[in-house]
Amino acid sequence: MTSVATHCPYCSLQCGVTMRIQAAPRPPLLEPDDFPTNRGGLCAKGWSAAELLDHPDRLTTPLVRDNGELRPSTWDEALDRVTAAIKTAQARYGPESVGCFGGGGLTNEKAYQFGKFARVALRTPYIDYNGRFCMSSAATAGNRAFGVDRGLPFPLADIAGAQTVLLVGSNPADTMPPAMQYFDTGRANGAAHIVVDPRYTATAKGSTLHLQPTPGTDLALANGLLHIAIREGYVDQAYVDTRTSGFAAVRAAVAAYWPDRVERMTGVPVAHLRRAVELLGTARSAMILTARGAEQHRNGTDTTQAWINLALALGLPGRPYSGFGTVTGQGNGQGGREHGQKADQLPGYRRIDDPAARAHVAAVWGIDPDDLPGPGVSAVELLDRCGRPDGVRVLLVLASNVVVSAPDRNRVRERLGALDLLVVSDFFLSETAALADVVFPTAQWAEEDGTMTNLEGRVLRRRRVLDPPPGVHDDLTLMSLLAERLGHSFSADPRTVFDELRRASAGGIADYAGISYERVDAEQGVFWPCPSDDHPGTPHLFADGFPTPDGRARFIRVDHTEPAETPDREFPYVLTTGRVMQQYQSGNQTRRARSLHASATDPKVELHPDLARRLGIDAADLVELRTRRGRAVFRALITNTIRPDTVFAPFHWGGEQSANALTDPALDPHSKMPAFKVCAVAITPIKEDR
């Protein structure tokens, strides 16, 4: 057999796998590799990834909508229809009438090219991506505190060396199981782990201490822990004095978060607060890691900042086996935002409103800086502009299923339905593609070359294992064909695009100039920033300082605010959403995997036994959840791992089982991340005959 080393298509671990090619028509066999992130481990999703390569639902021809129905089309017909709609909309409404919506699963090459396509071929500011739903609050907080946003500023394996780890709003035991080997090694060596989560998750079950706050109170919890750290003398004053600024204002702010008050605000006992601070403050090395549970709130940026403040006060960032980091979710959530998919960024993590950044990138692209559009709007704001007279009339969607993944699904469907033309590129007919006017079939992960950037900032290779089905192109080719019809020349060759990305990122925060395909192959990935061919890459950030104007990290005062929506008489409970082990993102892929479907056929809402008893709900009963935005139906899972005032629903399903028919689209004012994690909900049992 021929073997090809590549990477799992799912989460940000980007586990190494070997694909062993069999004689047609059998799909390749998949085996885990001894890559640094997974070291031979693989989760159920990774094991099932090859099942989708020959799935009968695979799209193999373009589709166009006629008389309300999608029908097969030729590439020329579909491309001509899209080109005509773009030109008509721009002639009537201007360049800003066309928008682009990308995905965190796109390779670096495709993410870069999509940003260039929007700004050069379309001359529109309106591009954003579903990574806005994933890590944007942590990115914003990281930029303002450290001057840089990289999920983990150290290799994942460093977790095994930390004596104490505080994990906030993350459940890697279910969402990225191969990473747990590093947590397990740490515990085996005597490390203490603290998990902050309103659910008693599989990760929390292995922890030394579980803090179970009311959803939406993580900021108050972090400020309360810092209050105790100051009072008990755990602050590293020498570190604060020499490597940070702004501590005095934060110290004054957290003086109001005394332990008894924080217990009332969060529901976490004072004894647990004190124990958590003791474990962090006395450890020779410690890490604070946050994830979506801390971020997906109206105050997610400030919440992440509060945990950064605690890490800085303890003197953690930049020290061996210590620091602050964020667990990125999507496969290329890191690289996808570094190189131009975010509304306000250009390649290299440059700000699009910075004249020097505009001049540099424009020179690489061969255009006048004045021809570059300015900043656009965030993902939710972009979707909300769809179909409006002065908004987006034509929307191009690559690798994203917004009808399932975006908050307030009913409003999203309404806005997409008001477009003049909705164009979707995907390999299955997702819930979003099913609404489109034109659908392009695209290559899957094992059918393309490119690079990805994982949660550590490690740039790695995705290698082509087999050819896509006849008549299927990848998204680089799609953009090249569309650009040609619009009067521009775009390469469809991944290596050519990556070499241009290197030049465009040179000198930026996320500098890839010294990263080549050859180096990535030889070194099991290269950590950015890597500004030159002879630079070793940067596995560890902050050891010698921070990339801020004065070289210091910034404390920033933040105060607790109530969630955008709190329980009341009509909606008396708190709904929080998240992931389950067998599914990934919108489920467009994993819901089709045969082996995964057998173990996760439908979503279940988690209810505490006391709440279920009060409402007359038994295990496996149908339950209707209702919020101010919509309703959804789930099977009941009765468990004492959830708070009695809180219910949990997974977001991987669409239709009547869509958790995002319920969620609140309220946005964080800094990051524009939606408040997925908290909204008020009513619960009603459903009779089976309904």
DSSP for residue 256? T
Task: Decide if pLDDT at 689 tops 60.
Answer: no
CA distances from 648 to 146, 410, 617 (A): 33, 20, 15
% of residues, the chain, pLDDT over 90: 93
Q: What is the pLDDT of residue 658?
A: 95
Mean pLDDT rounded to a whole number for the chain: 96
Per-residue pLDDT of 141-155, as tens digits, reads: 999 999 999 999 999
Could you tell me which residues come within 8 angstroms of residue 554 by beta carbon, excluding any fewer than 6 positions away?
144, 145, 146, 244, 245, 246, 548
Task: Decide if pLDDT at 1 tops 80.
Answer: no
**Confidence bin at 328 (pLDDT 50/70/90):** confident
Sheet holding 164-168, edge to edge: 209-211, 192-196, 164-168, 286-290, 323-326
Mean pLDDT computed over 644-668:
95
User: Distance between CA atoms of 120 and 375, rounded to whole angstroms?
Assistant: 14
Select from 400, 401, 437 the least CA-distant residue to 417.
Answer: 437
Cis peptide, bond prior to residue 178, ω within 30 of zero: no
Q: What is the pLDDT of residue 26?
A: 79
DSSP lists the bridge partners of residue 634 as: 623
Reported as type and span, the H/E element at residue 146 is helix 136-146
- Structural domains of the chain in order of their starting residue, each with its CATH number: 63-133+340-527 (3.40.50.740), 137-326 (3.40.228.10), 573-686 (2.40.40.20)
Mean pLDDT computed over 461-477:
96
Q: What is the pLDDT of residue 127?
A: 98
Select from 467, 681, 673 the least CA-distant residue to 568.
Answer: 681
What is the CB neighbour count within 10 angstroms for residue 486?
18
Task: Tell me phi and psi for residue 646, to 5 degrees.
Answer: -130, 145
Mean pLDDT computed over 552-571:
96
Cα atoms found within 13 Å of the Cα of residue 216, Cβ hemisphere only? 25
Separation of CA 411 from chain center: 22
Reported as type and span, the H/E element at residue 459 is strand 458-462
Six-digit token string for 655: 């239709």
Map 6-74 to HEC letters: EECCCCCCCCEEEEEECCCCCCCEEEECCCCCCCCCCCHHHHHHHHHHHCCCCCCCCEEEECCEEEECC
Map 290-311 to HEC letters: ECHHHHCCCCHHHHHHHHHHHH
User: Distance between CA atoms of 373 and 119, rounded to whole angstroms?
Assistant: 6
Per-residue pLDDT of 368-424, as tens digits, reads: 999 999 999 999 999 999 999 999 999 999 999 999 999 999 999 999 999 999 999
Q: What is the pLDDT of residue 690?
A: 47
Mean pLDDT computed over 243-254:
98
Task: Decide if pLDDT at 247 tops 50.
Answer: yes
User: Distance between CA atoms of 629 and 641, rounded to whole angstroms?
Assistant: 27
Mean pLDDT computed over 303-331:
96
User: Distance between CA atoms of 350 and 339, rounded to whole angstroms?
Assistant: 8
Beta strand pairing call for 16-21 and 438-441: unpaired
Q: Give the burial class of 87: count Cβ atoms within 10 A of its Cβ; 0-12 exposed, 13-18 middle, 19 or more buried.
A: middle
Q: Are 499 and 484 in contact (CB under 8 A)?
A: no
DSSP for residue 132? G
Count of residues in the chain = 690
CA distances from 439 to 78, 399, 413, 647, 655 (A): 8, 12, 17, 37, 20
Q: What is the pLDDT of residue 599?
A: 66
Q: What is the pLDDT of residue 22?
A: 86
Reported as type and span, the H/E element at residue 637 is strand 631-638
Could you tell me which residues come within 8 angstroms of residue 25 by beta carbon, excluding any fewer than 6 positions away?
54
User: Distance between CA atoms of 73 and 615, rounded to whole angstroms?
Assistant: 52
Select from 364, 413, 444 the least CA-distant residue to 630.
Answer: 413
Tell me the pTM.
0.96
**Confidence bin at 554 (pLDDT 50/70/90):** very high
> Which residue carries 């005959």 as its tokens?
689
Instruction: Determine if residue 489 is left, alpha or beta; phi over 0 gives left, psi from -120 to 50 gives alpha, anything else beta.
Output: beta
User: Distance between CA atoms of 58 and 426, rounded to whole angstroms?
Assistant: 9
Per-residue pLDDT of 175-212, as tens digits, reads: 999 999 999 999 999 999 999 999 999 999 999 999 99
Task: Decide if pLDDT at 557 tops 50.
Answer: yes
Task: Decide if pLDDT at 597 tops 90.
Answer: no
Per-residue pLDDT of 25-70, as tens digits, reads: 778 899 999 999 999 999 999 999 999 999 999 999 999 999 999 9
Q: What is the pLDDT of residue 600?
A: 64
